Amino acid sequence: MKHTMELPDQHIAYLDVGPEGPQGPPLLLLHGGAVDTRMWHPQLTAFPGLRVLAPDARGHGDSSDAEGPYRLVDDVVALLDALDIERVVAVGVSMGGGTACDLALEHPSRVAGIVVSGTGTSEPVFEDPWALQAFAEWEAAEQGADLQEWIDVLQRFTAGPFRSLDEVDPPLRELVDTMARATVANHLRTDAAGIPLPPPPPTPVTQTWQRLEEIEVPVLALCGALDGDDHRRNGRRLADSVPDGRYAEVPGAAHYPNLENPEVFDREVRELLRRSARASA
């Protein structure tokens, strides 16, 4: 069941599942850009004994749009404060992975460990021509109000650079398509002439790569083996730059490894939970 937290400057929609007496810190699931909490459906019941939270980021799902400057990491902390949750293990894919890293940097007392997938920090470095072309064409589709092209480019990340979209299971393609269309339908604004207005971007957390030695909790960079070279490279860099980091890949998966191979993804998250429990003991 989805809940809504009404805050002074926004409302945050979130899923909250698990037992009344959870064992250990809650698991906080942070989705990627253009999608929403529906990307986490395999994980919601995969961790018995744990409370699992999955919020819609601002401008996504059933959460409110941005009306002024904001930071995604501060929205997360506002939700945790409202729920009286002191500490979580944060798991994020793509945009959500960057937010998980920001949480460890900006609010270190609020995390017991983090899992980052499909990125490194919230300041990913892209150099590969495949990624650069995709991002350029995605931006052009947004500016040109070409919804189908915008979704088609997004789906390139679903497949990754090493296979065609036809090689991806149809239910995954359809889910990404459904979430992306909902994001546009519910959150895209237009001016008086009907021209799309790009949403206000979040205020970035800066100097993230330079600060990674500050992260003292266990870190798992968990990337799809078929994701883009830059996405995996950023993950390796993160794991190599923190005091307690590990890099792993999920076979047969690209940018959404939790959906394409949930068995391996969840197993790796459980190992991070064990590392986190040992570090906290």
Spatial distance between the Cα atoms of 163 and 152, rounded to a whole number of angstroms:
15
Question: Whose CA is closest to 200, among 31, 89, 21, 69?
Answer: 69
Task: Look at residue 245 and tell me whether its pLDDT is greater than 90.
Answer: yes
169-192 CB burial, b ≥16 within 10 A, e <16: eeebeebbbebbebbeeebbeeee
Spatial distance between the Cα atoms of 34 and 137, rounded to a whole number of angstroms:
15
Q: Whole-model pTM? A: 0.96
Tokens standing for 184?
A: 């546009």
Task: Look at residue 1 and tell me whether its pLDDT is greater than 80.
Answer: no
CA quadruple 41, 118, 180, 187: dihedral, nearest 10: 100
Question: Whose CA is closest to 178, among 43, 38, 55, 59?
Answer: 38
Phi–psi pair at 277, nearest 5 degrees: -65, -40
At residue 199, the pLDDT reads 75
More confident residue, 172 or 22: 172
At residue 194, the pLDDT reads 62
Q: What is the pLDDT of residues 174-224, one digit of tens each?
A: 999 999 999 988 887 766 666 666 778 899 999 999 999 999 999 999 999
Q: What is the pLDDT of residues 117-165, one digit of tens each?
A: 999 999 999 999 999 999 999 989 888 778 899 999 999 999 999 999 9
| pLDDT, mean of residues 2-19 | 95
Judge contact between 157 and 165, C-beta under 8 A: no
- Residue 206 zone, left/alpha/beta (φ > 0; ψ -120 to 50; rest): beta
Task: Indicate the fold that domain 2-125+203-280 takes in CATH.
Answer: Rossmann fold (3.40.50)
Task: Look at residue 267 and tell me whether its pLDDT is greater than 90.
Answer: yes
Residues 6+ apart with CB under 8 A from 166: none
Tokens standing for 113?
A: 């460990």
Spatial distance between the Cα atoms of 48 and 33, rounded to a whole number of angstroms:
27
Tokens standing for 128?
A: 């590969």
Lowest-confidence region among 46-60, 136-150, 205-219, 251-265: 136-150
> In whole numbers, what is the pLDDT of the chain averaged over residues?
94
| pLDDT, mean of residues 234-246 | 98
Instruction: Name the band, by pLDDT with cuts 50, 70 and 90, for residue 236.
Output: very high
| HEC-encoded secondary structure of 100-135 | HHHHHHHCHHHEEEEEEECCCCCCCCCCCHHHHHHH
Tokens standing for 219?
A: 């870190």
Spatial distance between the Cα atoms of 12 and 188, rounded to a whole number of angstroms:
18
Amino acid at the residue 131? A
Indicate the domain borders of the chain: 2-125+203-280, 129-197
